């Protein structure tokens, strides 16, 4: 008997048995050809007829002379040159970071009839922006109150927070220009501190600011001005405001050079 293992023959591959230089047989119709590797065309190059990304167009040159930087606030220089040294000597501060300073000034205008008179709120926003030189933020109700016909999220006023040089510029204009224009002015109260070195003042009319045009005023309204300081006590904050020229009632205000 012939052994079956000896008669077993392996199938011969056509490609292996083909002689060298012979072309392989064509592929069946059902099989797909292998995708060729993409050639480096002219799109990626910046040569002739290239379709690559175009170079960005140069920015247009501004017309006229370049804008000059804003001058430094006069009251800020006065604080750094004179007020800091005087307060440190008066209260005996060993660390210069203990010297009180102004952190921010917040101006808040409340419009109770903003829902019935939306144009009045828009006018208040424009007026507050012209006074401070900064765009106000429209404040909205935090919760609904039925007795006041108030709904949550309803606009009820506007507010502005000033810091840095703009804060000192506003304070300088307020002390030297706006305050003397108050009717029957006899000084600002000394009991408006909150116990933590913050001072809040209420104004009845926005007409005291010279930026307001009398002919364009639709309604007279007031505002609250809050001066937030880094002093933790009222006496330190009062000394700071006094040195900055704040006109307290019954006192001669400090003259700012």
- Read out DSSP for 87-142? HHHHHT-SSGGGS--EEEEEEEEE-TTTTT-HHHHHHHHHHHHHHHSS--EEEE-S
230/218 Cα distance (integer angstroms): 38
The answer to whether the Cα torsion of 45, 46, 50, 52 is positive or negative is positive
Q: How far is CA 243 from the centre of its chain?
A: 30
According to the model, what pLDDT value does residue 200 have? 93
According to the model, what pLDDT value does residue 52 have? 55
Give the side-chain half-sphere CA count within 13 A for 232: 2
Q: How far is CA 33 from the centre of its chain?
A: 60
According to the model, what pLDDT value does residue 62 have? 59
According to the model, what pLDDT value does residue 40 have? 52
Predicted confidence (pLDDT) per residue in 127-152, tens digit: 899 999 889 998 888 888 887 777 88
Q: Which residues of the chain have pLDDT under 70?
A: 1-69, 114-115, 257
Residue 163 has φ and ψ, to the nearest 5°, of: -140, 165
pTM for this model (two decimals): 0.69
Alpha helices for the chain (secondary structure H):
4-7, 14-17, 74-78, 84-91, 118-132, 164-173, 234-243
The answer to whether the Cα torsion of 78, 81, 86, 88 is positive or negative is positive
70/191 Cα distance (integer angstroms): 36
Closest CA to 222 of 201, 210, 205, 237: 205
According to the model, what pLDDT value does residue 150 have? 74
Closest CA to 193 of 185, 205, 201: 201
189/203 Cα distance (integer angstroms): 12
138/160 Cα distance (integer angstroms): 9
Q: Exposed/middle/buried for 240, CB within 10 Å: 0-12, 13-18, 19+?
A: buried
Helices 84-91 and 234-243: crossing angle in degrees, nearest 10, is 140
According to the model, what pLDDT value does residue 5 have? 47
According to the model, what pLDDT value does residue 6 have? 47
């Amino acid at each position: 008997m012939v052994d079956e293992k000896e008669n077993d023959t392996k199938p011969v591959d056509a490609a292996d048995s083909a002689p060298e230089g012979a072309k392989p047989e064509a592929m069946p119709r059902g099989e797909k050809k292998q995708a060729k590797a993409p050639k480096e065309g002219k799109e990626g190059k910046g040569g002739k007829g290239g379709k690559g990304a175009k170079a960005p167009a140069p920015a247009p040159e501004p017309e006229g002379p370049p804008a000059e930087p804003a001058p430094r606030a006069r009251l800020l220089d006065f604080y750094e040159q004179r007020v800091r040294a005087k307060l440190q000597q008066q209260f005996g501060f060993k660390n210069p970071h203990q010297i009180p300073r102004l952190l921010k000034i917040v101006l808040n205008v409340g419009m109770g009839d903003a829902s019935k008179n939306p144009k009045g709120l828009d006018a208040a926003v424009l007026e507050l922006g012209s006074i401070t030189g900064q765009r106000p933020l429209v404040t909205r109700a935090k919760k609904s109150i039925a007795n006041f016909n108030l709904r949550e999220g309803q606009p009820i006023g506007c507010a502005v927070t000033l810091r840095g040089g703009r804060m000192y510029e506003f304070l300088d204009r307020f002390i030297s220009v706006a305050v003397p224009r108050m009717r029957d002015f006899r000084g600002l109260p000394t009991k408006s501190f909150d116990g933590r070195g913050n001072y809040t003042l209420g104004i009845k009319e926005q007409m005291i600011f010279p930026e307001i045009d009398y002919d364009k005023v639709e309604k007279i309204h007031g505002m609250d001005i809050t001066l937030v300081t880094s002093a933790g006590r009222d006496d330190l904050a009062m000394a700071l405001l006094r040195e900055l020229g704040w006109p307290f009632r019954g006192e001669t205000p400090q003259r700012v050079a």
